A and B are shown apart, each in its own frame.
Chain A
C-alpha cells in the first residue's frame, strides 16, 4: 500500500513538471469535446432547391410557396436556359424542382399533373431527407387545396419524440464526443507514461526494487485515472451549457461506467507503451488505433446495427461502444442501472482484463533475464 502510494506520488510529480502535457490534458479534452460535438450534424438545414416553374400561374406559385413556407429549403431561381443537370453537377443546388407547363389547368381539370424533384444522390442521407421533406410539402399542398370539409384524413398520427423532443443533433453528438475524449486522452497519457520509462531505461528501477508488478501497475495507472476523472468533470461542466448534459436522477451507473472507461483507456495506453517501447511510436499507435476504432465502430456516428456482421464482432471489443451508449442513456434518457448494467459490466470486464494483462506483462519483463 505504502509502496503503491509512493509510486503514484512519483508519477504525479513527473506529470506535473511537464507543462506541455498538463496543458494538453486540460485544454485539449475540452477543445475536442466542443469540436466533435458541434461540427457534426446530420440534420440538413438550408437545402438549396432550385425551382424551375414552367407554368407561372397562381396555382404553381402557391405550390412553390409551400416549399418556402416549410422553412427547410433555400430557394434559388434559375437564370434563363439553365440545364437542371448542370445545376446538380456543379453543386449549385442540391435539388431541382420542376413544375410542368399547364400545371394549374390540369390540376383544376382533375388530371393529376406530375411535378418532378431531381435530387443530388451523392450524399445518400441528405438525399433521403430531401425526398421525404419534398413529399411532405407536396401532400400538405394537396391537402390545403381541397375544400375545407374534405381536408381531414381518415387517420391522423400524433408523433412523439422521446428523450430528445427538439431532435437536436447537437445533443446526440455532444454525448458521443464525451466518449471519444475520455478514451483518447487517458490512453495517450498512459502510453506516454509507460513508453517513457522504457525509452529512458528507468524501468530497470522497479525491477530492482521490492515493488511487485501489481503495486507498480496500480501506482502507475492511479494518478492518470484521477486526471481522467478531472477531465470528465471539466467536460461535464462545459457540456452542461453547450450540449444540455443533464445528470440522471441516479448518476451512479454513469459515474461507475466513466471510471471503468477511463481505467480502460489508461491501462490500454500503458500496454501499448510497453509494446512499442518508444514514445513517438506509442503516441502514433494510440492516435491511429484508439481514435479510429472508437470513431468508426462505437456507434458514435452511425448505428452499430448497420455494420455488417463480419465486422460487428470487432465492435464488441471497442470500449467506446459501451460507454457512449451509457452516456446517452444517462445524460439524455435519464436512465440508471436498470438498462445500463450490462454495458457497465462489460466495461468493468474490459478494465479487469487489461489490468491483468498489464500485471502479467510487467512481471514477464521483470523476470526475463
Chain B
C-alpha cells in the first residue's frame, strides 16, 4: 500500500462520513432495529414443551392409577385441563382441539398389577407439531420408567441383579437449557448481515441513480478504494449495533460472553464486510433502489434459512446442504455462538473463521470486479 493510497482512502472516507453525519435516518436505522429484533426474537421464539393441554381418562380409579397419573403429569410439560368420563368425551375434546395429549388408564390396571402381570396404558398425542410430540412422548416414557422401577423394587427387590447402571447426563455450556441463547446469537448475525447488504446496495445504487458515478470516475481513485471508503462508516456503525445487541442480550437474557470480546467483534467485522460486498454486488446488477430491494429479497431468505439460525444446519435436507458451504452468514452464526456460549478461542474456530474470510474476500473481489466493469 502506497501512502498515496492511504491519503486517497482517508479523503474519500471523510467525504462519506460527512454524508453519513447528515443522514440521521440511516444512523437510527442501523442502531435501533438490532436491539428491537433481539428482544422480539429472544422472547418470541421458544420451542420448549410445556403446559401441553392434557386430558386424563381414568377407568380404574384406584390409588395406584391416581399415583401413576400424578407421576406422569408432575413435570411442567403437561397441564391437566380435562377429565373426560369415557372414550366419546375424550374423542370430542380432541375433535374440538381442546387437548393436545391424553392419558388413558384401563379399568383393570390395579388388578393386573396385583397379579404381577403387565398392564398397558395408552398415551395419545396430537403430533401436528412433530418436535413437541416427540419430546412429550420422551417425557412420558421417562416418567413411566421411573414409576416402573419404583414398582419393581416393591414387588421383586432382587430384580436388579444384573442390571442397574446409571447414565448421568450434563448439558455443557448451558446447564439451565436457556432456549433463547440459540436464537439470540442467530439474530445478531442475521441483523448484522442483512443490514450490511441493504446499506451497501443502497449506497452503491444511489451513486448510480443520482449520477455522481461520473465524478468518482474522473477522480484518480481506484474502484477498490472507492468501495472501501464507501463501506467504512456503515461498517463501523453496524458493528456498534452488534456490540449493543450483545450488551442487551447479556442484561436481558443472561447470554454469557465466555470467549474473547475481540474475537467476537472481529468475526462481526469480517462478516459485515462480506455482507457489504454482497450488497455492492447486488447493486451492480440493479438500476434502481427497487430492483436492488427485490434482488436482496431473492437472496436473503435462503441465506438466513440455511445458516442454522432456527435449528442446526445438519437438519437441512441434502439438497440444500451445499449452500451451507458458501454461506458466510452460516459461518458467522457458528462463530458467534461458539465464542459467546462455549468460550471457544481462535484455536477451536480457525476453520469456520478461515471459511468466513475466504467467502468475504471472494464476495469483495467479485463486487470490485463488477463495480470496475461498470466504471470503465
Question: What are the residues of chain B within 8 A of A307 when measuring CB–CB?
Answer: 43-44, 46
B152 contacts which of A20, A154, A305 (Cβ < 8 Å)?
A154
Q: How far is the CA of A338 from the CA of B297 in the complex (A)?
A: 39
Does B165 lie within 8 Å of A160, measured CB to CB? no
Instruction: Fill in one digit per residue for A273-305: 1 if any B CB lies within 8 Å of its CB, else 0.
Output: 000000110011001100010001100011101
A283 cross-chain contacts in B, Cβ below 8 A: 290, 293-294
B159, A164: Cβ atoms closer than 8 Å? no
Do A153 and B152 touch across chains, with their CB atoms under 8 A apart?
yes
A324-345 with Cβ < 8 A to chain B: 328-329, 332-333, 335, 338-339
Q: Which A residues lie within 8 Å of B156 (CB)?
A: 150
Taking residues whose C-beta sits less than 8 angstroms from the other chain, chain A's interface range is 35 or more
B interface, CB within 8 angstroms of A:
33, 37, 40-41, 43-48, 50-51, 68, 94-97, 109, 113, 118-135, 137-142, 144-145, 147-148, 151-152, 155-156, 159-175, 177-179, 181-182, 289-290, 293-294, 297-298, 301-302, 305-306, 310-312, 314-317, 319-320, 334, 337-338, 341-344, 348-349
A158: CB under 8 A from chain B? yes
CA distance A216 to B127 in the complex (A): 45
Per-position binary interface string of chain A over residues 25-52, scored 1 when its CB falls under 8 Å from any chain B CB and 0 otherwise: 0001000100110111111111000000
A147 to B162, CA, bound (A): 8
Question: A123 touches which one: B121, B182, B305 (CB < 8 A)?
Answer: B182
Q: What residues on A are CB-neighbors of B140 within 8 Å? A: 157, 159
Residues of A within 8 A of B301 (CB): 32, 35-36
- Distance, CA A364 to CA B294, complexed state (A): 32
Q: Is A121 an interface residue (CB 8 A)?
A: yes
Contact B306 A121 (CB under 8 A): no
Closest-CB distance, B39 to chain A (whole angstroms) = 9
> In this complex, which of A139, A288, A302 has the most chain B Cβ atoms within 10 angstroms of its Cβ?
A302
Q: A349 in the interface, Cβ–Cβ < 8 Å? A: no
Q: A155 touches which one: B121, B290, B310 (CB < 8 A)?
A: B121
Answer whether A125 and B311 are a contact pair too, CB < 8 Å, given A116-B167, A155-B68, A157-B122.
yes
Q: How far is the CB of A99 from chain B (nearest CB, A)?
A: 10
User: 10 shortest A-B CB distances, which residue pairs?
Assistant: A121-B174, A121-B171, A161-B127, A132-B138, A42-B131, A39-B305, A164-B127, A306-B46, A112-B164, A138-B167
Contact of B172 among A24, A119, A157, A164 (CB under 8 A): A119
A214 within 8 A of B: no
Report whether B148 and A124 are in contact in the complex, using a CB–CB cutoff of 8 Å: no
Of chain B, the residue at the smallest CB distance from A162 is: B126
21 A/B residue pairs, CB under 8 Å, sorted by A: A32-B301, A107-B165, A114-B166, A115-B165, A122-B341, A124-B181, A125-B182, A129-B135, A136-B138, A139-B145, A154-B152, A155-B68, A155-B119, A157-B140, A159-B140, A161-B125, A172-B129, A280-B289, A284-B293, A296-B41, A305-B51
Q: Does A152 contact B (CB under 8 A)?
A: yes
Q: Chain B residues near A308 (CB, 8 Å)?
A: 43
CB distance from A126 to the nearest CB of B (A): 6
Chain A window 77-118, contacts with chain B (Cβ cutoff 8 Å), 1 for yes, 0 for no:
000000001101111001000000001000110101111111
The residues of A with any CB-CB pair to B shorter than 8 Å are: 20, 24, 28, 32, 35-36, 38-46, 63, 85-86, 88-91, 94, 103, 107-108, 110, 112-129, 131-136, 138-139, 141-143, 145-147, 150, 152-165, 167-169, 171-172, 279-280, 283-284, 287-288, 292, 296-297, 301-303, 305-308, 311, 328-329, 332-333, 335, 338-339
Residues of A within 8 A of B177 (CB): 121, 124, 127-128
> Is the Cβ of B144 less than 8 Å from the Cβ of A119?
no
B179 near A329: Cβ-Cβ < 8 Å: no
| Chain B residues, CB < 8 A from A284 | 293
Cβ–Cβ < 8 Å partners of B33 in chain A:
288
| Contacting residues, chain B, for A125 (C-beta < 8 A) | 47-48, 131, 179, 182, 311
Q: Which residues of A sit under 8 angstroms from B44, Cβ to Cβ?
A: 296-297, 302, 307, 311
| CA distance in complex: A335, B312 (Å) | 32
Chain A residues closer than 8 Å to B341, beta-carbon distance: 121-122
Residues of A within 8 A of B144 (CB): 155, 157
Contact among B113, B125, B163 for A154, CB-based, below 8 A: B113
Known: A40-B311, A43-B315, A122-B173. 13 other contacts (CB 8 A): A41-B315, A116-B168, A119-B170, A120-B173, A127-B171, A135-B142, A135-B167, A154-B118, A154-B151, A159-B137, A171-B130, A296-B41, A332-B128
